[in-house]
Amino acid sequence: MIFQAVLILITALFLAAPAFSGSISGVAVYSADFKALPPLDTGKYKKACGPEIPNESLVVNGKGLKNVVVSLEGGDLGGKPGEYKLDQKNCRYEPHVIAMMKGSELEIHSSDPINHNIHTYSFENDPLNIMFIPGQDDTEHEFEEPEIIKIECDLHSWMAAWVVVTENGYFSVSGKQGGFNIPDVPPGEYTVTAWHETLGSLSKKVTVGEGDVKVDFDFSNISPQLSKK
């Protein structure tokens, strides 16, 4: 009888515990008057790379804004570092924007039949500046501290990518139509920050319980700070 009573009590405690989680989803938009950016000229490299490369520094589809990194701050958020891939393909970095938790590893590959260079610009993480020749083995690089890092190729001035290293594992990168989703968020109060390479950052406070919290970010009142490259 005593054992049964203890078992019932333990079961009741588990049922009463707030074991649920929520999610944060929304859309990043840019609804200001906007003309698609012209492609980038490859100049003397047009034989190997083609005459033009798409400009990915500001990609808007309808009103949806692509490549916005949305991340959370607050509470006791954890996560697990992962492995991510960056390719040098058709004289571009693919993907253009990568988000990862600190301690994650980036595997860098080159699919191109010409030389490239990987040059990272960072303050908190060890920099990387290496040459890639055709057929070279992949290189792995770990990012240990939260930071926004730009990657460039010293051989081809138009090539650029971004790595956003976050404090925890709760982040998302907006897709082609601007949508993003951060699942399995523990209940609590958080600051949600949306960052874009040419439009800067916007932040909002949210309270997460059970279910989905909708958060949209409109960058329309921000003037683009476009690279001259």
* 92-104 pLDDT tens trace: 999 999 999 999 9
Q: Tokens for 25, please give them.
A: 């989803």
* Sequence-ordered strand ranges (E) for 91-210: 92-94, 97-101, 104-110, 116-121, 129-132, 139-143, 147-152, 160-166, 171-173, 179-185, 188-196, 200-208
Secondary structure (3-state) at 68: coil
Provide mean pLDDT across the span 189-212.
96
Could you read off the pLDDT of 177-198 as tens digits, one per residue?
A: 999 999 999 999 999 999 999 9
What count of Cα atoms within 13 Å lies in the side-chain half-sphere of residue 141?
A: 22
What is the rounded average pLDDT of the residues 24-33?
95
Break the chain into its structural domains and give their ranges. Answer: 22-218
Prediction pTM value: 0.88
How confident is the prediction for the chain on average, in pLDDT? Answer: 90
Please say if the pLDDT value at position 65 is more than 60: yes
Mean pLDDT of 19-23: 79
In CATH terms, the fold of domain 22-218 is Immunoglobulin-like (2.60.40)
- Residue 198 CB partners (closer than 8 Å, separation 6+): 57, 58, 224, 225, 226, 227
Note the Cα 103 to chain centre separation in Å.
15
